[in-house]
Amino acid sequence: MATIYVRNKTYHCDFQCRGRRYRLSLHTTSRREAQRRLKDLFQKVKAGRYAEAGEQNDVKLVLGPEPITCRDFFIQYLKIGEREKSSSTHLVDQYRLQAFLRWLVGKGILYLHDVTTQNIEAYLSDFARTRTRSTVNRELQLIKACFRRARQLGHIKEDPASALNKIKVPRKEMRTLARKEIEKLLRVCDDFWMPRIMGALHTGLRKGEYVNLQVLDVDFELNIMKVVNRSDSERTKNAEPRYLPIDHELRPFLHDLCKDKKSSDHVFSSRSGNRFDARALLTQVKALFKKAGIEGANFHTFRHTYISQLAMTGLDPLTLQELAGHKDIATTRRYLHFSPEHLKQAQNRLTFISGREKKN
């Protein structure tokens, strides 16, 4: 007869089989999981597939690799991510996994293999009470990546997060600047802001790419600028470099920004001449929009405006994807049907009455 009992918050088993007594730890704090493991262990012992090396043999010889705690694996995962992700993304991952770990420990779940799909669903349900759907989806994306890596490393046999899907999020209308709004914004720009706003409008750079662009990245002979990675803190979103053309309207402004600067200096520098702090940039640009009487716009609106304007020129999707720096073409497709006027022009190209006079 087999029995299970708790010792130091962990389930153990005690049973006899093939003329021998077995007393072993089941390495779980879940009674249901303990019963499952006991059944599996008993079958292996009965079939003679359990190592006969004395009672000091641990159940991990049967169940696979040594169990790893959630805390130890999250630390391991973050160390891997530190090499693969930007410092800001790594910091966010660290904060979010700490919150998830506190929740797991609060539920008595210490080992990674004890985490179930139901546990993750319950955590996300609690998490969603004060967060938007998009934030919940990002949390799920991190958890799925974490357990996918755990399975690749052999820490778990089955991925409990693989069955979970993202919540459907209604797509928000993309905010862009109309020509009249751009004119209003430029009217409130002084000599400092004019070239910097023109730079944002004509390049569509993300804020991190914008503040990290250096003079050596700009080639006036070829009329090209290179958006490139240099270090963990100065990397593009997709960690891949790309090239942007310098158009005739941007060129004089860019030339003034680069004049009398060293090659290592930043192009869109702050008033002090140093690298623009990203948060300060967002705050000051928001103040400019407020001064111009433009609502619902922020720094990223320049990027939406840049890509949507390119899309409305009829640029092919692959070129648009390359200029925008999108890793997935699906992101680029969001801009291909952006302008209602552009759709109207496309619709007017259809002709079904060839050779006949069209009636109103």
Write down the pLDDT at residue 203.
93
Write down the pLDDT at residue 18.
59
- Of 63, 80, 96, the one marking the end of a domain is 63
Write down the pLDDT at residue 56.
42
CATH number of domain containing 113: 1.10.150
Q: Are residues 43 and 75 in the same domain?
A: no
Question: Is 159 part of a structural domain of the chain?
Answer: no
Q: How far apart are CA 50 and CA 45, in angstroms?
A: 5
Low-confidence ranges of the chain (pLDDT < 70): 1, 17-21, 47-66, 229-239, 337-360
What's the domain range around 75? 70-152
Write down the pLDDT at residue 337.
62
Write down the pLDDT at residue 238.
56
Write down the pLDDT at residue 184.
95
Write down the pLDDT at residue 98.
95
Write down the pLDDT at residue 58.
47
Q: Are residues 130 and 231 in the same domain?
A: no
Write down the pLDDT at residue 77.
93
Single pTM value for the model: 0.62
Q: Are residues 188 and 333 in the same domain?
A: yes
Q: How far apart are CA 51 and CA 59, in angstroms?
A: 10
Question: Strand pairing partners for 242?
Answer: 227
Write down the pLDDT at residue 54.
40
Catalytic residue ranges: 206, 237, 300, 303, 326, 335
Question: Is 166 part of a structural domain of the chain?
Answer: no
Label residue 30 left, alpha or beta by phi (over 0 means left) and psi (-120 to 50 means alpha): beta
Q: Are residues 221 and 260 in the same domain?
A: yes
Q: How far apart are CA 218 and CA 220, in angstroms?
A: 6
Q: Are residues 97 and 200 in the same domain?
A: no
Q: How far apart are CA 146 and CA 78, in angstroms?
A: 9
Write down the pLDDT at residue 38.
86
Write down the pLDDT at residue 61.
39
Question: Is 27 part of a structural domain of the chain?
Answer: yes
Q: Are residues 281 and 308 in the same domain?
A: yes
Terminal alpha carbon distance of the chain: 90
Condensed to tens digits (0 to 9), the pLDDT of residues 312-326 reads 887 888 888 899 888
CATH number of domain containing 326: 1.10.443.10
Q: Are residues 185 and 280 in the same domain?
A: yes
Q: Are residues 279 and 327 in the same domain?
A: yes
Q: Are residues 86 and 229 in the same domain?
A: no
User: Dihedral of the CA atoms 162, 164, 168, 169 (nearest 10)?
Assistant: -80
Q: Are residues 44 and 106 in the same domain?
A: no
Question: Is 262 part of a structural domain of the chain?
Answer: yes
CB 225 within 8 A of CB 239: no
Question: Is 170 part of a structural domain of the chain?
Answer: no
Total domain count, the chain: 3
Q: Are residues 19 and 103 in the same domain?
A: no
Question: Is 184 part of a structural domain of the chain?
Answer: yes
Write down the pLDDT at residue 260.
87
Question: Is 355 part of a structural domain of the chain?
Answer: no
Question: Is 100 part of a structural domain of the chain?
Answer: yes
Q: Are residues 196 and 340 in the same domain?
A: yes
